[in-house]
Structure 1
Amino acid sequence: MGRLVPAVTRALDILELFLEGDGTLSAPDITRRLQLPRTTVHELVTTLAARNYLVPVAEQPGRYRLGVRPYQLGSRYAEQLDLAAEGREVAASVAETCGETVHVAILESTDVIYIAKVDSTHAVRMVSAAGRRLPAHCTSVGKMLLASLPGPVLEERLPDDLPLAAMTGNSITSPSELRRHLAEIRERGIAVEERESNPDVNCVAAPVRDSAGAVVAALSISVPTIRWSEERRAELEELVVKGASELSVRLGFRGQA
């Protein structure tokens, strides 16, 4: 790997400052924040403005905002994103850390579809696969995704007069009970499944967001009951949030969930 070019590093540092605050900065602001010489900042800002990476703010003389060029680069990057591929990479990292099975899933109507799976390193593994479809209300990823839906959409998909199918004796079958459960998930930002889709498996899940902040998937960690405890649950909840956050960042999300 070659050496870093100081001028390029400084130019990128300047651009990244515009991701914070209201998105506008003056040359003195940049000088103060980065502790760079005023002449260096002036030259770099002038160059970035000449290439449309920065543009002057008309109503605020002396201040700049991001220009069209970063938007064009970001749009091209977004076009090349593959949720399944990015999900597999993050899932592999999470699985390596915890040794358990990790899934990434999306919501389709009232079902979840698993788009990525990385197996546990333990001898006992989940009988699941990418491409498999399950009722959303029976899984941690599905409940996480249902909890992210607007109220009217959720009511349309899961009306009160339609009982929910059960996969195990622990599955939620009452729409009203499910809505109460989803409200708790919405508040916590984490979904937990305790033997609801498989009598021998527990799961935790967290939401994955795109560049606009919309929940587009969920990432889960699945654990056989023999390795489940309140202490283990707390550890995995923390890890699943980190994993989902990393995948969200890869998809362009940079806000607070």
Structure 2
Amino acid sequence: MNTITLRHSWSKWQKIYVLNGTPPATQWVGLEHMSDKAISKETQQAEKDASGPRSVMRILGLFEALARATDGLSLADLSIELGAPKSSLLTLLRPLVAESYLSHGKSRYRLGPRIFRMSADILAAHKIRTLIEPYVEQLAERTHETVYFAVLGSSEPVAVAIEVINSAQALLYNLRVGMTFPLYQTAAGNVLLAYQDKESQESYLRSIKAEKLKVDEFSPRVPLSPSELRQRLSDIRKTGISISIGQWTPHSGALAAPVFNADGSLAGALAIAGPADRLQSNLEQLTTVLKNIAAAASGQ
């Protein structure tokens, strides 16, 4: 608990300063109502509250209360609104302010920039899902394989499946909405990385270790180094298709193609996934169907 507490023992009152990376919050506590033992007990309870399931609901409650308050809320307001002790709320508020999920100024808490970015990402993903759904359905009907649409993660560099239709065949590649995939090791991830700017690509390549780029015995074409991955990304931009056989999971594979927004920016990657041997035996046909539907989804 990163709290610095300064206590001045006066005859009747005690002043407690809590340092949380923002201007110190001030609480006045009557000594006749709160002994040192009681203070310690309340602090322990606050820490316990912040680490249990109740804290999750309180955090959600904080967000909801602040979303309704155009001018923010004070600690006292939040305590009344949520029916929670101020000490417990402060334990939750400090890290939320530090991580920019909330802001704190003039003794009032407000929603922070990270919450607004998250909200924008959620709304954008919902809109994309609505727009891409008929094309995912069409691709599933044409290929009879598992198909999905993936976007770049908002908080970390991964591919996130936001729309999935699993194959009805007995042998299939099973996915679910919300699954994440590494960018360097999957067909959809390669597409998402290929259409990032050079600076973002290089930053990502520096963040992964070369030994992660392993070759699977089933697919000797998997990049073994950052330089080979750079060439792969360049090829994807030229051909408009990414093929990954045995690269992430042995004996399975995927194909992915980019889908673009009206302004030419990348919306996400439309992909087909299935058993490696089945994909390889129909690779030319699947590639054609995938590129055509991805182009239609892009309005081309």
Output the CA distance in 2 between the equivalents of 1:132 and 1:210. Answer: 23
Counterpart pick for 1:121 among 148, 168, 190: 168
Output the CA distance in 2 between the equivalents of 1:213 and 1:137. Answer: 23
TM score, norm. by length of structure 2: 0.52
Contact 1:105 1:219 in 2 (8 A): yes
Note the alpha carbon deviations across 1:30-49, whole angstroms, 9 max, x for none: xxxxxxxxxxxxxxxxxxxx
Q: Which runs of 4+ in 1 moved over 6 A?
A: none
Structure 2 residues not aligned, in runs of 5+: 1-123
Counterpart pick for 1:242 among 292, 297, 300: 292
Shift of 1:240: 0.8
For 1:188, the equivalent position in structure 2 comes to 239
Output the CA distance in 2 between the equivalents of 1:161 and 1:101. Answer: 29
Output the CA distance in 2 between the equivalents of 1:81 and 1:211. Answer: 17
For 1:44, the equivalent position in structure 2 comes to none
Alignment of 1:200-239 (within 5 A): 200-229=251-280, 232-239=282-289
Classify the secondary structure of the residue corresponding to 2:298: helix
Q: Which amino acid aligns with 1:124?
A: L
Structure with greater contact order relative to length (CA < 8 Å, sep ≥ 6): 1
Does 2:228 align with 1:177? Answer: yes
Shift of 1:246: 2.2
For 1:135, the equivalent position in structure 2 comes to 182
For 1:95, the equivalent position in structure 2 comes to 140
Does 2:152 align with 1:107? Answer: yes
Output the CA distance in 2 between the equivalents of 1:97 and 1:135. Answer: 27
Counterpart pick for 2:203 among 156, 159, 172: 156
Q: Which amino acid aligns with 2:233?
A: L
Q: 1:130 to 1:166 in 2, by over 3 A?
A: farther
Q: Which amino acid aligns with 2:285?
A: E
Shift of 1:245: 1.6
Note the alpha carbon deviations across 1:164-184, whole angstroms, 9 max, x for none: 635873554521111111111
TM score, norm. by length of structure 1: 0.61
Matched residues, percent identical? Answer: 26
Shift of 1:87: 2.3
